[in-house]
Amino acid sequence: MENIRERLKFTNKVEHVKLRKRRSQLYSKEDECPLSSGVLGTRVVLFSVVFRLINCFLVQTSFVPDEYWQSLEVSHRMVFRYPLKTEDMIVFTYGYQTWEWKAGIRGFSYPLLFAFIYKILSLLHYDTVHLLIWLPRIIQALFAACADVKFFLLIQTLETHDVAKWTFFCHLCSWFTWYCCTRTLTNSMETTITCLALFYFPLPGSKTHNSTKYLSLVALAIIIRPTALIIWFPLLIYHFWQEENKLRLITHNYIPVGALAVVISTMIDCLFYEKWTMVQFNFFKFNIFHGVAGFYGSHPWHWYFTQGFPVIIGPHLPFFLHGCSLTYKKHKILLVAVFWTIVIYSLLPHKEFRFIYPVLPFCMVFCGISLAHLKAWRQAAAFVLLVSNLVPALYTGLIHQRGTLDVMSHIQKLCDVRNDSSPTQPDVLFLMPCHSTPYYSHVHCPVKMRFLECPPDLGQEGYVDEAERFYDDPLNWLRTSFPYKSSLPTHLILFDVFEKEISAFLQGNNFVRTAEIFHTHFPEGRVGGSVFIYERH
């Protein structure tokens, strides 16, 4: 009985109970967030920077004219003012075909970045051709690396470390991201800023939400490319719908950030256009209401669903569809943004692969979830995904459509001839589809150059641009444009597909082929497989 009383006796004595340290098997080490120590974060940053720099130097081909004519050519003109003292060279105002910049449908915010770089190089007397070509692309690659890191950190907060790792893998091995992200395209910068803004967007489960930061980045993306509003429209609506204090969101975030962005953008454009210009309004006026974009080609409404999206997502498509079936409820807002963007772009007549490039990071979230759930087949699937993306990435980056860039190094050598005391100064004529090549940004000397112009029809009756007149009757155009031998250019640049058509003109005026440059294995229409350089003797 006494023993029972002792056991039931309440005392203040506290006995220390030793618990065996045991880790739950429900969570693996991969589910921890090792970024708290900063070790993994540093590795991701270093890897992303090195990876994108390698990416930059392994992309040596041309994609679309806007890569130069909406960025580098405009920037070069702003700083160096080529051509110099030769008003008859070309109607050349601020770069991209005169009508477009004079009409005010392209802003100067993006070219201003590279103009700043060019100005620094000029002041330091390091404005060599190689630096002028590669430094803007290196800067673009560093921006892309920053977006890669932020994208990885975002997925770390939304999913497990395992899913974040495989999502990052899918993002890095995307062939189209490799092909585009280091190019000086407004679409590339739009995608980069979209990744950065998504990091601060209030996604379900996000711990990095900051309304001011993400809205500022969205505003910057819209300034650079107004169509960025398309992909962000459903996301902005989602944020507004989820926000408890909607009035505060409008008055403290939406209106101040939007108004400041419009004011800064308008001030920059008015300064360079030297007149009142609102680029965003003009962009929609010309491209949407007047349908000028259709001048550059049109496609059927289903093109993005049947060709555009399957091509840019490439071998990731099965994983994307599998990931959607697994987690469409959790990340439905991202899926809505992807579908909405493709549908809206499908309503426009002019379609290009690069227009829907900003949706790719959204798709990679679903691809990463798919790979993480494969378990037994994960390693094999990852290997197949890597190899199937590596082949098109290297081919399109190093081989396909490189002739129009390589030819500029040949033209740049003419700068030395121009500086000589030779009585005949170089005079180059590009007999190619307009804007096929870069221009003074890749030559960097006031050598005389001219190309076939193709401003779109802005309502002129019976309008036919110069390029079309040439292709309708090449021989007649050449003979009419150059009635005297003294007016002939010294060099002609053309695709091989037109050599036979103008062979009589070439032979009659003593033009001799001096170089043949490979361009593509898939010639199409007016774009040939090789670029020819002819010189007059």
Q: Is 500 helix (H, G, I), strand (E, B) or coil?
A: coil
Q: Helix 39-57 and helix 129-158: axis angle, to 10°? A: 140
* Residue owning tokens 């007059």: 536
State the CB neighbour count (10 A cutoff) for residue 457: 12
Q: Is 339 helix (H, G, I), strand (E, B) or coil?
A: helix
Query: How far is the CA of 110 from the CAs of 171, 503, 515, in angstroms?
Result: 25, 42, 35
Residue 172, CA atoms < 13 Å, CB-side half-sphere = 23
Q: Which two tokens stand for residue 369?
A: 């979830």
CA atoms of 337 and 325, how far apart (whole Å): 16
Q: Is 110 helix (H, G, I), strand (E, B) or coil?
A: helix
Burial of residue 13 (CB within 10 Å: 0-12, 13-18, 19+) is exposed
**Residue ranges for the chain with pLDDT beneath 50:** 1-2, 4-37, 84-98
Per-residue burial over 493-521, b if 16 or more Cβ lie within 10 Å, else e, is bbbbbbeeebeebbeebebeeeeebebbe
Q: Is 516 helix (H, G, I), strand (E, B) or coil?
A: strand
Query: Rounded to 5 degrees, what are φ and ψ at 534?
Result: -110, 135
Q: Strands 427-431 and 448-451: what pairing?
A: parallel
* Residue owning tokens 């597909």: 497
Q: Helix 332-346 and helix 228-242: axis angle, to 10°? A: 140
CA atoms of 161 and 155, how far apart (whole Å): 8
pTM summary value:
0.88
Query: Rounded to 5 degrees, what are φ and ψ at 451?
Result: -135, 165
* Residue owning tokens 């079936």: 325
* Residue owning tokens 């395992």: 162
Please say whether the beta carbons of 115 and 73 come within 8 A: no
pLDDT of 420 reads 63
Burial of residue 480 (CB within 10 Å: 0-12, 13-18, 19+) is exposed
E strand or H helix at 384, and its extent?
helix 378-398
Helices (H) and strands (E) in the chain, counts: 26, 5
What is the identity of the amino acid at 340? Answer: W
The one-character DSSP state at 524 is: B
State the CB neighbour count (10 A cutoff) for residue 406: 17
Burial of residue 299 (CB within 10 Å: 0-12, 13-18, 19+) is middle
- Angle CA(478)–CA(483)–CA(489) in degrees, nearest 5? 60
Smallest CA-to-CA distance from 179 within 358, 354, 4 is with: 354
Please, which residues bridge with residue 91 across strands?
Answer: none
Smallest CA-to-CA distance from 194 within 253, 241, 146 is with: 146
Please say whether the beta carbons of 494 and 532 come within 8 A: yes
CA atoms of 213 and 197, how far apart (whole Å): 7
State the CB neighbour count (10 A cutoff) for residue 31: 12
Please, which residues bridge with residue 524 across strands?
Answer: 527
- Cβ neighbors of 236 (< 8 A, separation 6 or more) are 218, 254
